């Protein structure tokens, strides 16, 4: 059973960010025009914060089991694929710059976060009473 779950985890870690993107950002496709003529959007800050907080759970789950590569590559791959699909209707072609920035940003952020989580859980297990140091 352990072998099966270790193969399933990377797949889920790609699908969860895609589903979270669809839930938090996928439905909001309209820019907001303000009375002064400025344009914002299509996403509000609370939507992006919700997406990030949602993705903390699967990253923590994988990193606490020391699957750092799965946490980092799965999350980055899922977010990048979702952004590429969602933003690909931009005729200017500049969406590729945004997708690249999202890919690099999520890669660096999840790598740091997963490494910290993995280190903290490993140190916690070593210091737990009744646990051996190996």
Q: Which two tokens stand for residue 33?
A: 């025009």
Which residue do the tokens 């400025």 mark?
A: 38
Q: How far apart are CA 51 and CA 31, in angstroms?
A: 19
88-97: per-residue pLDDT in tens? 988 888 999 9
3-state secondary structure of 40: strand
Q: How far is CA 31 from CA 18, 34, 44, 96, 101, in A?
A: 22, 10, 10, 19, 21
Q: What is the mean pLDDT of the chain?
A: 87
35-79: per-residue pLDDT in tens? 898 877 788 899 999 999 999 999 999 999 999 999 999 999 999
Q: How far apart are CA 28 and CA 67, in angstroms?
A: 33
pLDDT of residue 1: 46
**Confidence grade of residue 6 (pLDDT, cut at 50, 70, 90):** low
- Neighbour tally for 110: CB within 10 Å: 25
């Amino acid at each position: 059973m352990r072998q099966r779950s270790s193969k399933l985890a990377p797949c889920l870690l790609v699908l969860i960010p895609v589903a979270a993107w669809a839930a938090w950002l996928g439905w909001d496709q309209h820019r907001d025009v303000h009375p002064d003529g400025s344009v914002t959007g299509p996403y509000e800050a609370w939507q992006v914060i919700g997406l990030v907080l949602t993705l903390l759970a699967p990253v923590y789950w994988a990193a606490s089991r020391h699957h750092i590569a799965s946490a980092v590559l799965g999350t980055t791959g899922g977010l990048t694929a979702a952004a590429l699909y969602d933003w690909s209707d931009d005729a200017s072609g500049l969406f590729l710059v945004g997708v690249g920035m999202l890919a690099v940003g999520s890669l660096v952020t999840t790598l740091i976060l997963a490494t910290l989580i993995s280190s903290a859980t490993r140190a916690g297990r070593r210091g737990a009473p009744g646990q051996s140091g190996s």
